[in-house]
Amino acid sequence: MRTKGLITITILFMLLFGISLVQADDVDNKLVQEAMDNYVKGKLSLQGGHYEIEGVKAEFDYLHSGVKEDGSLFVSCADFKAGNDVYDIDYYVKKTDGKYIVVKEIFHKKNEKPVNDVLWQLNQ
């Protein structure tokens, strides 16, 4: 029941504030995925091969294949594992001067359950 409520609230929020995510085209999808991959690899390198999430050292699992677009922002996510737990991190990517750059990351879900329902907007 809580999930239905969260979905309803999210949809209402999106309708009220004009937020609409659409599937990115194949070229953007590929370039966004490359930007995310480079970002994650760089962070893993800096953190000794682990990705720290809420004080937990997790291992990279995979990048999700779908990329959504909202104006100048692209959104996709990656999964990380620590023991039996799976962490989902959302990455916000912006195209700037022809380059795709990760501008924000948000810890979104742990074990498929949302821990952050906030939709981040670049203009805030």
Average pLDDT over residues 94-123: 84
Predicted pLDDT of residue 18 = 39
d(CA 29, CA 25): 6
Any idea what the CATH number is for the domain that residue 42 is in? 3.10.450.630
Q: Do the domain assignments include residue 13?
A: no
d(CA 90, CA 92): 7
Q: Do the domain assignments include residue 2?
A: no
CB 23 within 8 A of CB 66: yes
Percentage of the chain modeled with pLDDT above 70? 73
Q: Do the domain assignments include residue 53?
A: yes
**Residue 72: Cβ within 10 Å count:** 12
Q: Do the domain assignments include residue 6?
A: no
Query: Rounded mean pLDDT of the chain?
Result: 80
Q: Do the domain assignments include residue 121?
A: no
* Strand ranges inside 36-98, DSSP E: 51-53, 56-63, 68-70, 73-82, 85-96
| pTM, entire model | 0.74
Q: Do the domain assignments include residue 37?
A: yes
Q: Do the domain assignments include residue 123?
A: no
User: Among residues 63, 66, 107, which one has the least CA distance to residue 89?
Assistant: 107
Q: Do the domain assignments include residue 42?
A: yes
Backbone Cα Rg of the chain: 15
pLDDT(79) > 60: yes
pLDDT(11) > 70: no
d(CA 31, CA 15): 29
The domain tally of the chain equals: 1
pLDDT(117) > 80: no
Predicted pLDDT of residue 8 = 38
pLDDT digits (tens, 9 = 90+) for 64-77: 988 998 778 999 99
pLDDT(96) > 70: yes
Enclosing domain of residue 103 = 21-114
pLDDT digits (tens, 9 = 90+) for 12-44: 334 333 344 555 577 788 999 999 999 999 999
